[in-house]
Amino acid sequence: MADRKPGFDTLALHAGTAPDPATGARITPIYQTTSFVFNDVQHASDLFALRAFGNIYTRIMNPTQGALEGKVTALEGGTASLATASGHAAQLLVFHTIMQPGDEFVAVRQLYGGSINQFSHSFKSFGWHVVWADAEDMGSIEKALSPKTKAIFIESIANPGGRITDIAAVAAIARKAGVPLIVDNTLATPYLCRPLEHGANIVVHSLTKFMGGHGNSMGGVIVDGGNFDWSKSGRYPLLSEPNGSYHGLKLHETFGNIAFAIACRVLGLRDLGPAIAPLNAFLILTGMETLGLRMQRQCDNALKVAQWLKNNPRVSWVNYAGLADDKHHALAQKYCPRGAGAVFTFGLKGGHEAGVKTVSSVKLLSHLANVGDTRSLIIHPASTTHSQLSADQLKLAGAGPDVVRLSIGLENVEDIIADLDQAIS
């Protein structure tokens, strides 16, 4: 065959996971080991000095983790990736690589509640300051920039509101400011949206959600777009300056378009330690083989459920960008043409009380704090995932008192609708 570019489903099955070179095993084994034997002293010293790539110790690198990273890199169209213990660990390592104490970054308020907490509280103790903006107002993002700004952070599809962010517009602002755009692509997955193609520089995921897809393993990943010049401004010293823990090595100069992923691994992961367990990497790899099939069916089901809710007299509004009359429909068609994801919110006319009653009455749907399972899930964010937020933050995050969040699964859609019907009634 000529140089055919493999399609998404082919990559989801084959990228990163060639037969095991040691045994021929077709499925990537779970390399359940902490450490790897060196060939000789020279090999060991080359590995430690980053003169050669290879396995040393599972906190830093492991072949099962490496297979997962290869698959994600191919699906997102990046240059390299780093898998981590969770989505939050991925975010921690990204900012650890970019930020110095006293620095600022701009994030939009339309984010997963856990990220709002991480940014506003825990990051403060590192001296990293978040400045909030509004994803629907590009002017507010520009206004939030200052000479201390080191990055801009958005979600492609925002959790829980299901809103679509205009990635290319934010990327243009980031480019002008000379800072990288980081996109959390958890709810879209690369099947629906590839942020690097729209000008993003770094993509992060919670692999815990749709990527693994079966609700059985925690994981996260950082994808290096290889498209940001870390040395130009001198404002990213971990990448551009001689590194004291590697005998003065300059990471960007040495590793070029994979320098960011390397820095996250050999500085962040090495020293902060949130490595993914090989078993979890294996389970997520298996889940990712069917990513395209699952996402398409879950989006199709979500659209049917959203249409049904829209016509339900007890429902006051439905926020799903897949609906033709939704205010984010045009953005959804631009960034997620195959479907607007499977997580969305709706409001009940009965407010807070009706929301609590509905989540208490479902039988098929699971009432829990996760999204992206094969099963359909339901939650009332104001009393759970977003309960640490103030009333103002709740509203801005799309998690007001009457809001119910759904993550639609792979069941027969008639069964999902029947369960919601009895619960809402």
Q: Which residues bind ligand PLP (CB under 6 A)?
A: 86-88, 112, 114-115, 155, 159, 184, 186-187, 206, 208-209, 218, 220, 371
CB nearer to ligand PLP: give 215 or 255. Answer: 215
- Taking the C-alpha atoms of residue 190 and residue 240, their distance in angstroms, rounded to an integer, is 30
CB nearer to ligand PLP: give 209 or 297. Answer: 209
CB nearer to ligand PLP: give 250 or 367. Answer: 367
Task: Please state the length of the chain.
Answer: 425
- Taking the C-alpha atoms of residue 254 and residue 242, their distance in angstroms, rounded to an integer, is 11
185: which residues sit within 8 A by CB, 6+ positions away? Answer: 76, 155, 156, 193, 194, 195, 203, 204, 205
For residue 406, give Cα distances in angstroms to 100, 318, 325, 362, 385: 38, 11, 19, 12, 13
Q: What is the closest distance, in whole angstroms, from the C-beta atom of residue 155 to ligand PLP in the complex?
A: 5
CB-based burial of residue 231 (10 Å sphere; 0-12 exposed, 13-18 middle, 19+ buried)? middle
Phi (first) and psi of residue 385, to 5 degrees:
-55, -35
For residue 186, the Cα-to-chain-centroid distance in whole angstroms is: 3
Q: What is the closest distance, in whole angstroms, from the C-beta atom of residue 422 to ligand PLP in the complex?
A: 28
Which strands make up the sheet holding 315-319, listed edge to edge?
315-319, 343-348, 403-407, 377-379, 366-367
Q: What is the closest distance, in whole angstroms, from the C-beta atom of residue 165 to ligand PLP in the complex?
A: 12
CB nearer to ligand PLP: give 145 or 157. Answer: 157
Q: What is the closest distance, in whole angstroms, from the C-beta atom of residue 359 to ligand PLP in the complex?
A: 18
Phi (first) and psi of residue 153, to 5 degrees:
-125, 130
Q: What is the closest distance, in whole angstroms, from the C-beta atom of residue 241 to ligand PLP in the complex?
A: 30
Q: What is the closest distance, in whole angstroms, from the C-beta atom of residue 343 to ligand PLP in the complex?
A: 8
CB nearer to ligand PLP: give 177 or 406. Answer: 406
Q: What is the closest distance, in whole angstroms, from the C-beta atom of residue 37 to ligand PLP in the complex?
A: 32
Give the residue at shortest CB distance from ligand PLP.
87
CB nearer to ligand PLP: give 220 or 347. Answer: 220
Write out the two tokens for 288. Answer: 């990712």
CB nearer to ligand PLP: give 236 or 320. Answer: 320
